[in-house]
Structure 1
Amino acid sequence: MRIWSLHPVYLDRQGLVACWRETLLAQAVLAGTTKGYREHPQLARFREAPEPSTAVSAYLRDLADEADARGYRFDRSRIRTLGTTVPPLEVTTGQLDLEWRHLRAKLAARSPDRLALHAHTHRPAPHPLFVVVEGPVASWERA
């Protein structure tokens, strides 16, 4: 499971679709409607939010917005909480840097054109749910 801290604009088609599906799974886990992945480390940041289900819904809304911008159709009816404002979650500079290196390697292999769009990006923007703070790679990261 990879729920990116990076802004979804950087993801290629495969990455955006995979992130959508994996975050829908995370939403189900947080809602208690599935038994799998309950202990997945990437869920830690959502569990730390004041309202985990609302936070994951906000994350999904931003993925759907990016899909809309590209002409894709993600089924927004699958998002449990619509229209709720949530306080931002923190992501560290170390986490963003690690994910950026990881994503760039993936894009180099499968979507070089997408990588070329962001060739001059040194410090990528975070997903809109996150605010960047100085710090190391997140303790939950397993990459």
Structure 2
Amino acid sequence: MRLWSLHPSILDRAALVACWREGLLAQKVLAGGTRGYTRHPQLTRLRAHPDPESAIGAYLRGLQEEATARGYRFDASRILRPIPASDLDPIPVTAGQLAYELEHLRRKVAARAPEWLPQLPPGEDAGGGAIPTHPLLTVVPGDVEEWEVRTA
């Protein structure tokens, strides 16, 4: 399960579609609709929110809005609580986590859709300014999140 912290606009097609599917699974887990994936580390930050079910709804809404802007048809009726991210307390994400995810996405895009690479920001390390985040998230200082399962 990968619930990207990055803004949906920089996700390539495969990442956006996979994130939607996995976000729907996360919604089902948080609503108590499945016994699988209940201890998945990506759910840690959603569970820490005062209203986890609304938080995943706002997260999914951000994905669905980006998909619509690209002409994709993500079924918004599948979002149980389609609350605007601006109506909720933001979820913190560390700058280190964002940098890690951007490099992770960059490796994936280089292999499967190299034509998308110019859409990716250079990142803070390359002097490119802030890395755009999902509208539900707010950046805080720090290293890669403890819940992240790092890959080589």
TM over 0.5: yes
Q: Look up the match of 2:140.
A: 133
Question: Shift in Å at residue 113 of structure 1?
Answer: 1.2
Q: Which amino acid aligns with 1:131?
A: T
Question: Shift in Å at residue 82 of structure 1?
Answer: 2.4
Q: Which amino acid aligns with 1:142?
A: V
- Name structure 1 gaps, 5 residues minimum: none
- Name structure 2 gaps, 5 residues minimum: none
Aligned length: 143
Question: Do structure 1's residue 53 and structure 2's residue 60 form an aligned pair?
Answer: no
Q: Which amino acid aligns with 2:47?
A: R
1:119 and 1:90 mapped to 2: Cα distance? 20
Q: Look up the match of 1:65.
A: 65
Query: Would you say the 8 A contact 2:106–2:120 is kept in 1?
Result: no
RMSD across aligned positions (CA): 1.2
Residue identity (%): 55
Query: Would you say the 8 A contact 2:3–2:23 is kept in 1?
Result: yes
Q: Which amino acid aligns with 1:54?
A: S
Q: Look up the match of 2:3.
A: 3
Which portions of structure 1, spanning 4 or more consecutive aligned residues, are displaced by more than 3 angstroms? Answer: 119-123
2:141 and 2:93 mapped to 1: Cα distance? 8
SS of 2:27's equivalent? helix
